Every structure is written in structure tokens, then in C-alpha cells.
Structure 1
Amino acid sequence: MNEIYGMQENNIDKGKLKIQITSEATSFPVEDASIRITYTGVPDQTIETVSTDSSGQTETLELPAPPVEYSLDERQEEQPYSEYTLEVTAPGFEPIQIAGTEILSGVTALQNIRMLPLEREEGQEVYVIPAHTLFGNYPPKIPEAEIKPMDESGEIVLSRVVVPEYIVVHDGSPRDSTALNYYDRYKDYIKNVASSEIYATWPEEAIKANVLAIMSFTLNRVYTEWYRNQGFEFTISSSTAFDHKWIPQRNIYDTISVVVDDLFASYLSRPNVRQPILTQYCDGKQVTCPGWMTQWGSKDLADQGYSAIQILRYFYGSDMYINTAQEISGIPSSWPGYTLENGSSGSKVLQMQEQLNVIAGAYPAIPKVDADGIYGPRTEASVRKFQEVFGLPQTGKVDYRTWYKISEVYVGVSRIAELV
């Protein structure tokens, strides 16, 4: 206990926490959920008790965190984040506890929680978030070829790179038959992994470089059907020895979320290679990996003014380039290629208005609009409120990021992408 209080004494900075709760069954927001927040390891000391609004969200809370320098200097040995436990109850839902939500100085932790409808009289789901990979001890990546041999039998599984709707994550080593499989939306999976493997306080270009490496690695697993071709029923594992660290119900960060929303259809290519490159990496502190990107090294280069592609080429070679997937699964239609705004009109505006109205049925804070294909002031106000609810810049315009967020939420609440 003294060790825990000693760590609390180091929490002299502030980080932020925003909680959003939805139903696992319907993807609708859960209103009037109660969240009790304590320091992890000190269950009797309540720090805050908050509740969710009609959008299933809490206010943004400020919580103590260690100095930001702890996450910016690889020579530091102190834990750079504080840990909190969230106990969540809501009428009609099973209680859930998440221990170890990580708060970093100067950034906002986004804790998205999906609650199960109540099916039993008692019991509580408990999730424990383990140490961040840059702070804890995890098995180093087992090296693999960055380009996988493909079956030349003439039966092509995938003719082009497709961003999947879901990633099936095996939460353990690939051959651990006791580990559970989880379905996670592709973007949510990438945000989870990046939040588990780099610090959200790093420069934006370092975050971009690491996100691109994580996405390219993941899409290589998807494209080559690496595990399914070995007889497994999942896309990727959560073992750092084989893949990436992914943690059920862990919090993500606003700085990482924005980058993933902007880049989620991208991956890394080499000339004359169809498949995304299996971009392996290591931390560069506890583990060295010549020829791969090091996470701390990417941060150092970003500090020197390197762009994301310059960082990636520094580590992987000058012929590496950023590519874009030709297809995105699980959406009604692709972004039109231009920003929709006040004065716009046409079928894409109509489609967006219809989707907003469906979303407004689940999120009453978002005003419904006349679905007439004309982007007027009421549509702009509805878009602005949608952006506020889902943590996007409140421009009132539907850009790339907003279009795909509208599509994502619409698919969730309308259940057109329900897993069979």
C-alpha cells in the first residue's frame, strides 16, 4: 500500500478522462450509468462519482498524472501514467469493473465501455489492464519475413487490399486454446494497439509512423489470411511475441484516435509488392531490432523534425511508401472525395442526412434534419452536434473523418452490420 501512495505522490500533473458507455447488444448509448472512480489498489478511497448523459457520456474529468517528462524520456524508469479503477453500474445492465485505466499528463484518455444487458441476478465483469508495453516486460517479437509467400495455385483469396470491418483478436498466444477470441472494429483495434504500445504524449509524426506500421502489419495478416491458413479461427493474436498488444476494454487516447481516423485506410508498400508490408518493430530500449523501426527512435526522429514517412524510410529503407486500400468493408458507401458543407446538395448529402436521422434516434442530443439532399443551416447544426458528441473538430462540415465516423455509428445503431 505504501508503494501505491508513493506513486500517487508523483502525480503532480493533470490528465483528462472521458467515459462513453454503450450497450453491447444494440450499440445505443447507456444513459444514467453510474461510475465510481478510485486509484487502482486503493478501492476504499473514492475520487469521483459521475454519471452518463443521454449520449452515454460523462463530463471530461481532470485527474492527477505523473510529470509528462516521464513519458518523453526513455531514460526515465518511473511509471509515466497513473492508474484508476472504474466501477460501472446501470439499470438493466451487468455491472463492470475496469482496473488500470491509464491517465497520461496533458492528453485525454477515452474510456469506451460496452455493457452487457442483465441476464443474471449477481456477478460483475472484471477487466484488468496490464502494464503498458513500454513500461512492463513483454516477450520480444519473433522475427518473420516482411513479405509472405502467397499460394500460387491460381485460387487468389484476395485480389486487392481491403480494410476489414472487424478484426478477430485471439487474446493470448496463437496456440493457447484457452484464450478467448474477441471481435473488434478495425479502427478500434488499431487505436487499442497504438494506445498499448506507444505514449500518446509523443509528437504527432511519431504517432503517425507507429500507427502506419501497426496498420500495415495488421493488413498483412488480413491479406495473407496468415492464421486462418494455419487452421485458426482468428485474424491476429494479442501476443507481443507474434503480433501486437491488444487489451480488452482498455482506454485509448484522443491524440491517437485522431491520427487513426485520418489514416485508417492506409498501409505501407514496396514497389511491385501487392501485399501490405509486415512492418515489425521493437521499443529500442529493452529490446534492439536492427532493420526494424524502434518506437523510442521514432519519437527521437520526430523531435528532430522528421515526418512520418521520413521516419519510416529511415528504419525500413527509402523504397517504402504509403498506399491506400481500394476498399473499406462495412460502410454504406465511400467518402465522396470532397467536403460536404453548407450549400452542398445531391445524393451524398441526402445519404448523410438519412444516416444522421437514424443516429439521432439513438442519440437524442443530435437534432434530426429534413432529409432533402440540401445542406442547410439545420444540417450544419446537426453535424456540429454529432462532432461534439463523438470528439471530432466541431466544424459543421462533413470531411473524410466525419463521413466515416457517421458511417461507423450509423452501422452500429442500425444493426446492418450485425455479426451472424
Structure 2
Amino acid sequence: MSDAWIRTAEVNPSDQVDRGKLQIIVNTSIQNRPVADARVSISYTGNPEQTIEELRTDNNGRTPMAELPTPPLEYSMEPGMNQPYSEYTVRITASGFAPVEVSGSELLPGQLSRQPVQLVPLTPEEPYEDIVIPAHTLYGEYPEKIPEDEIKPMDESGEIVLSRVVVPEYVVVHDGAPSDSTAQDYYVRYRDYIKNVASSEIYATWPLATIEANVLAIMSFTLNRVYTEWYRNKGYDFTITSSTAYDHKWMHGRNIFDSISYVVDEIFADYLSRPNVKQPILTQYCDGQRVQCPNWMSQWGSKYLGDQGYSAIQILRNYYGQDMYINTAEEISGIPASWPGYDLDIGASGAKVRQLQEQLNTIAEVYSSIPAVNVDGVYSEATKEAVQAFQEVFGLPASGIVDYPTWYKVQEIYVAVTRIAELL
């Protein structure tokens, strides 16, 4: 079954009464290094030949934030025929790299969207890349989820491979139905995968508790696939698919909304569990409008509960039952050392601070706006300024304090810049 989609309406230019912000982030496909001085042009996807913004990337591969028209906020607050987001086409050119065009980058009112772009060296075989972002799942037409048991049987030989729940560094996404041998496989960082799916499945304008509840459901489902090695036990070489009939909708090259990104960074090691069940729960859901799914979470229903002040766990228990709990993975793979368990700020000292300083200095060799610091194990004003610069570059709240999201973002970027090559 393919994930073919259609649009049900076109954006009316007269509806573009609100504003959102769009930033383009340009890196190399090898080692994920920032590309400075790349030329970026932005146009409406419906009128791609008329450029409305021209930007350049800085030394960190970031453009300034462009403030662009969007439909009104109410379009994303109730299901309806009106497309709630505007779509932009982004063209990127840089010396020595193949040009890239991204069509359909989504922008919602009052939201900051970051459009990542990876450039490959210009060769006769790679003259350009054209990425088309399909319709959001709440707006387009996609296959319904084929129901599965939320807990996989553990009495079959080889069914459960992992002995504990581990957050993987990467997942391998099969961009199609499991049986589609022509579909491409992508190595995607786990957190980036979750952010992509959440940006594709819910609206970033929804209440924070609703976003958190949906992110927890997406992460628990994904970690169930990882823990049970579901597809590998069936003879496939991937972790999960992009087919809504089997898994979640992941969209190659799509934009990510900051409000969703923040939530994922805060809770990315969490999943949902039931008493006396080791595996993460396969938390299935549907939109609750076009498709009904008793005993699963309704996305629109979760939005309305968030409007009423329900917390994330209250939303989840409303659908999955009172014996649903939030758990935390025992291990996060692919990082040099774990979270110290407390925020690092002025006055902190010791091995964790020294590790942080060493990593920041390595990152600063690639991202020049981050100042180098003295590696002495003491969290000084200079260290705080370097942390603040790091947070500004990577879209985190620029507090200068190393909290949980900042710690793991430092680990992620450090690993990325010290590798000889990415697994791409």
C-alpha cells in the first residue's frame, strides 16, 4: 500500500493574513559541516518563479529569520477545508555544491520553522537535488493505520532481541511500505526522526501539553519497533517505515517547527509503559476526524483536551487507560557521557564541566561564533558565554545554563563534528 496523497484545497493568497518565521540551515552531507555564504531564495510554492526573499548563510550555515505570510491561526485550531499553513519553495546554491530546491516547506502562524538542507559536492552525477515535501497528514489523504497489538508477544524465539530499552543514536527509515523494495532507506538521528514525524503529524500551534502527549506516543511507538527489532525479525534491514498504514509519516527533507523541537529535546529519552511490561507500548493513534480509532489516541481530540487544560499524561490516560505511565530509557547510545543530573551554571566545577569545555572548544572549530574557553573544569563567565553562543546557534533558549536539552545537544553536535563521515 503506497502513501499517495492529495491536496483537498488550494491556499487563497487573500487568506495569508498572519505571519510566521522561516530560517534555512545549510550543512554539508558529509560530517554535517555548516556552509557559509550559500545563496538562498524563497518563493511561494504556488508561484515558484517569483522570488520574495533572498538571503545568505552566515559562518554557522544559518540565514537570518524571514518573516513570511501564513493563513490565520484559527485554520489550524479546527479541522476544515482551509489549508492552515502556507508553503514555500526554497532554492539553495553554494560554490562547489549541487544546487538544492525544496518545495512545500510549511509555515504556520506565530511559529518559527527551520528548514534543514544538506548539500553534496557538485559532480556530473549530482547536478542538483529536488525535494518535495508532501501535504501534512492532517490535511492530505493518507492510508489508515493497520491495527496491531500494542504489546508484542515475548514467547516466540527471537521475537525480542534487546534486553533493555535503549534510545538509539540512529534509526533506519524505509521511505515506503515494508514490501516496497524500490523505496530508499535513510539513516536518521533518532531525535531528528521524532521531530520530523511530529511536525508531519500534528500542528505546532497546538497546546504544549498536546504536543508533549503526541510526541510521547510517537517516541513510545518508535522505541517499540527498536526494542522488538520488529522489521529485522521479518528479514528487513530497516527500523521503521514512513508508511502511515504501518508506522508514522516521516518526510524526507521536511522543515521542523521550534515548538515541537523544544518538546522533543526535553523528553527524548522517555516512552510509555504499563506495569510489568518491559517493552515500550506501541501507542497507535489516528486523526479522530477523517478516521475513527476507538481505544487509540485521537490527534484532534488530544488538541481539545489540551485546550481544556489537561496535562500530557492526563491526555494519554484518557485514551490508553489509567495504567499508562511515562518511563525513561536506561541508556542513550552514541554519546560520550551521560547527563550529570543537574544544571551546570556559574560555580559548578569538576569532570563534567571539563568535558563540556573540551567539547565546546571542538565544536567552536567548526562553528566560529562560539568562543573558545579555558579547559579548567570551572564554570566561569567565559564558559557561560560560550554555552550561550552555542544555544543561539542551535536554536535553544540562550540562558547560558547547561540544562538537559543543552547537554544532549552538545553531545550530539560534538559526535557529529568529530566523526570522519556520517552514515549517510
Does the pair score TM above 0.5? yes
- Contact conserved, 2:28 with 2:119, CA < 8 A, in 1? yes
**C-alpha contact 1:20 1:113 (8 A) present in aligned 2:** yes
Kept in 2: contact 1:8–1:82 (CA 8 A) = no
Q: Any conservation in 2 of the 1:40–1:100 contact (CA below 8 Å)?
A: yes
Cα shift at 1:124 = 1.2
Q: Which residue of 2 aligns with 1:259?
A: 263
Q: Which residue of 1 aligns with 2:3?
A: none
Show the 5 A alignment for 1:94-105. 94-105=98-109
Out of 154, 176, 188, the residue aligned to residue 172 of structure 1 is 176
Deviation, 1:418, is 4.2
CA distance in 2, matches of 1:4, 1:38: 19
Contact map agreement 2:9 2:81 (CA 8 A) in 1: no
How is 1:198-209 mapped onto 2 (pairs within 5 angstroms)? 198-209=202-213
Give the secondary-structure state (helix, strand or coil) at the position aligned to 1:322.
strand
Instruction: Note the alpha carbon deviations across 1:343-384, whole angstroms, 9 max, x for none.
Output: 111000000000000000000000000111111011010001
Give the Å deviation of 1:158: 1.0
Alpha-carbon distance between aligned partners in 1 of 2:237 and 2:126, rounded to the nearest angstrom: 32
Which amino acid in 2 is paired with 1:61? A
Q: Which residue in the other structure is 1:392 paired with?
A: 396
Alignment match of 2:24 (pick from 19, 28, 39): 19
Kept in 2, the 8 Å contact 1:100–1:129? The answer is: yes
Quote the residue 1:114 is aligned against: 118
CA distance in 2, matches of 1:26, 1:131: 30
Name stretches of at least 5 consecutive residues in structure 1 with no aligned partner: none
Offset at residue 324 of structure 1 (A):
0.1
Partner of 1:362, secondary structure, is coil
The residue identity in structure 1 corresponding to 2:141 is N
Quick one: structure 1 residues 229 and 337, their matched pair in 2 at CA, closer, same or farther if it must change by over 3 Å?
same
Residue 88 of structure 2, aligned match among 74, 84, 87:
84
**Alignment root-mean-square deviation, CA:** 1.6
Letter of the 1:56 counterpart? G
Q: Given the alignment, which residue of 221, 226, 246 partners 1:242?
A: 246
2:381 alignment partner AA: P
SS of the equivalent of 2:365 reads helix
Q: 1-side partners of 2:12 and 2:252: how far apart?
A: 25
2:61 maps to which of 56, 60, 65 = 56
Aligned to 1:419: 423
Instruction: Map residues 203-242 of structure 1 onto 2, 5 A cutoff.
Output: 203-242=207-246
Contact 2:23–2:63 (Cα < 8 Å) also in 1? yes
Deviation of the 1:394 alpha carbon: 1.0
Name 1:162's counterpart in structure 2: 166
After TM superposition, give the deviation of residue 155 of structure 1 in Å.
9.2
Deviation at 1:4, TM superposition (A): 9.6
Count of matched residue positions in the alignment of Structure 1 and Structure 2: 417
Aligned partner of 1:16: which letter?
Answer: K
Structure 2 residue aligned with 1:283? 287
For residues 269 and 11 of structure 1, the distance between their equivalents in structure 2, rounded to whole angstroms, comes to 42
Q: Distance in 2 between matches of 1:286 and 1:155?
A: 34
Q: Does 1:318 align with 2:322?
A: yes
Going from structure 1 to structure 2, the CA distance change for 1:7 and 1:100 (only over 3 Å counts) comes to same
- CA gap of 1:4–1:35, structure 2 versus 1, over 3 A, is farther
Q: What CA deviation, in whole Å up to 9, does each residue of 1:63-94 have, x standing for no partner?
A: 000001000012x2100000000010111111
1:44: Cα distance to partner? Answer: 1.8
**TM-superposed deviation, 1:150:** 2.5
1:8 and 2:8 correspond: no
Aligned mates of 2:106, 2:159 — CA distance in 1: 46
Calculate percent identity across the aligned residue pairs.
65
Q: Is the 8 A contact 1:29 1:362 kept in 2?
A: yes
Q: For residues 4 and 202 of structure 1, do their structure 2 counterparts lie closer, same or farther at Cα, with a shift above 3 Å needed? A: closer
Deviations along 1:374-402, one digit per CA (max 9) or x if unpaired, are 11011010001001111111111111010
Superposition deviation, residue 157 in structure 1: 2.1
Q: Tell me, in whole angstroms, the C-alpha distance in 2 between the residues paired with 1:349 and 1:281.
A: 42
1:34 aligns with 2:39: yes
The answer to whether structure 1 residue 123 and structure 2 residue 127 are counterparts is: yes
TM-score of the pair, normalised by structure 1: 0.97
Partners of 1:36 and 1:88 within 8 A in 2: yes
